[in-house]
Amino acid sequence: MITARSHIHELFAKDLFELFGDQLRIRDISRLTKREIEGAVVVFDRYGLWGDRSAWGPERKQRFVILDCANYLPSLLVDVLKSQHITDRYKALLSETGNRGDVEELLICAFSLEVMGFAPRVFHIQELLANSVKWARLRTQAELKSIVDFSAHTVRARSSVLANHLLHQVFSSKAIVATLTGMVREAELRRNARDFYQILNSLMRYRSIAAILPEANRLESTINFYEGVKNLSATRRNPQFWLQYAIACLAFGKLDRAERYFKDSYSFADPGYNTYQIDNHYARLLLEKALITPTINDAMLLIDEARKIIIQQMGAEIRYYPYRVALGLFRCYDRFMASWTLEQKAYFSRIFQEIKRRCELMTGSLKENRYVIECLHKANQALQ
């Protein structure tokens, strides 16, 4: 039995599939069962954690967990923390510190490491903040003790959910971007050490940045971050860096900018470099462009290019990624449904039959994956 937080699992899933094959079974234990939901309602009642929902009956509270929180434990915990009086309490605590800038930088660094799945070790924080932390003073500040747990070796938030909440609600986007940019620069200087190399790579990933940055002004903040580190020696000619920048732009619908960075990523890939990840996300870009292309013929060119990548990857990939992108094919088909010619409908029929065939051949955990299940469901619907 192996456990890991979701984003850490994503990093090592391929190795696990290669080791265990069909014997591997994956369970997301963040998803609450009916019995666990009932228990959560009881616990929240006992400790007065419902806030404005306190007067609701048990069934309504259970529906809230099922519908609004999607049976997902982190969503339920974050919802509790979003209570304004709790957020204001933490803001007040930080405002009481005489060295707020230093405290903010320390907490942003520690919480970012924790959100990315790294133990926020004192040694790492000290190095990532350019040896600027005055530890003796910080450890004596009583107001910090309700936020973080200072041990001899780590600086941990009272919970990882609290760390995420404070990043999103208490600190400004500008302060977070400045701290992250500094962390990247310091990690690059130490990248020959394995720990700092891993932290550097994690900080480049859009998924990490999206988890850390507040929702307000996230597009501007994300671009400011990537622009701030794009000319470092570790990023300037790194295909993975430009892929992550492209993914970020794609996530915000900046398709032209994303396409430019995909081209950069391909251009920096040396001969023999496995472009699987770039190809996978580039196929998603092609389908997103097809969805907004005004003419069917232009859309078909984009769809066909994406189709070649997706079908090829379905034959070679042991994870769910091509199936996630393949859902875009169904959206494109629906987008122009009233205008397809008989020949074009036959073209899509062949694609959907192939997707259906591959979904039905799935075994082990992939057969239970939600993207595979959704692809199979949509293929069956389209072929009726």
Predicted confidence at residue 103, as pLDDT, reads: 82
- Per-residue pLDDT of 279-290, as tens digits, reads 999 999 999 999
Predicted confidence at residue 142, as pLDDT, reads: 65
Model confidence, pTM: 0.80
Q: What six digits make up the tokens of 100?
A: 């707020």
Cα–Cα dist 301/20, whole Å: 39
Predicted confidence at residue 8, as pLDDT, reads: 64
Q: Is the pLDDT score of 266 beyond 70?
A: yes
Question: Up-side HSE of residue 259: CA atoms within 13 Å toward CB?
Answer: 8
Cα 50 to the chain's mean position, in Å? 28
- Per-residue pLDDT of 120-158, as tens digits, reads 898 999 999 998 877 777 777 666 776 777 776 888 776
Q: What six digits make up the tokens of 18?
A: 């290669």
Q: Output 28 or 250, whichever has higher pLDDT.
A: 250
Residue type, position 233, single letter = S
Secondary structure, 3-state, the chain: CCCCCHHHHHHHHHHHHHHHHHHCCCCCCCECCHHHHHHHHHHHHHCCCCHHHCCCCHHHHHHHHHHHCCCEHHHHHHHHHCCHHHHHHHHHHHHCCCCHHHHHHHHHHHHHHHHCCCCCEHHHHHHHCCCCCCHHHHHCCHHHCCCEEECCCEEEECCHHHHHHHHHHCCCHHHHHHHHHHHHHHHHHCCCCHHHHHHHHHHHCHHHHHHHCCCCCHHHHHHHHHHHHCCCCCCCCCHHHHHHHHHHHHHCCCHHHHHHHHHHHHHHCCCCCCCHHHHHHHHHHHHHHHHHCCCHHHHHHHHHHHHHHHHHHHHHCCCCHHHHHHHHHHHHHHHCHHHCCHHHHHHHHHHHHHHHHHHHCCCHHHHCCHHHHHHHHHHHHHHC
Q: What six digits make up the tokens of 39?
A: 């228990």
Q: What six digits make up the tokens of 215?
A: 């929702």
Cα–Cα dist 357/326, whole Å: 14
Q: What six digits make up the tokens of 141?
A: 């500040």
Phi and psi at residue 307, in whole multiples of 5°?
-60, -45
Give the count of beta carbons closer than 10 Å to the beta carbon of residue 338: 6
The CA distances from residue 241 to 28, 159, 246, 330, in Å, are: 29, 30, 9, 30
Residues 6+ apart with CB under 8 A from 176: 108, 112, 167, 212, 213, 214, 221
Mean pLDDT of 160-173: 82
Which has the closest alpha carbon to 188: 249, 233, 138?
233
Mean pLDDT of 154-164: 75
Mean pLDDT of 309-334: 93
Q: Is the pLDDT score of 86 beyond 70?
A: no
What is the percentage of the chain residues whose pLDDT exceeds 70?
A: 90
The CA distances from residue 2 to 25, 27, 86, in Å, are: 10, 10, 34
Q: Is the pLDDT score of 173 beyond 80?
A: yes
What is the percentage of the chain residues whose pLDDT exceeds 90?
A: 57
Torsion of CA 345, 347, 353, 357, to 10 degrees: -160
Which has the closest alpha carbon to 128: 172, 176, 185?
185
Residue 1 — pLDDT band, cuts 50, 70, 90?
A: confident
Residue 6 — pLDDT band, cuts 50, 70, 90?
A: low
Among 4-8, 184-188, 196-200, 366-370, name the one with the lowest average pLDDT. 4-8
The residue whose two tokens read 């007065």 is 48
Predicted confidence at residue 192, as pLDDT, reads: 95
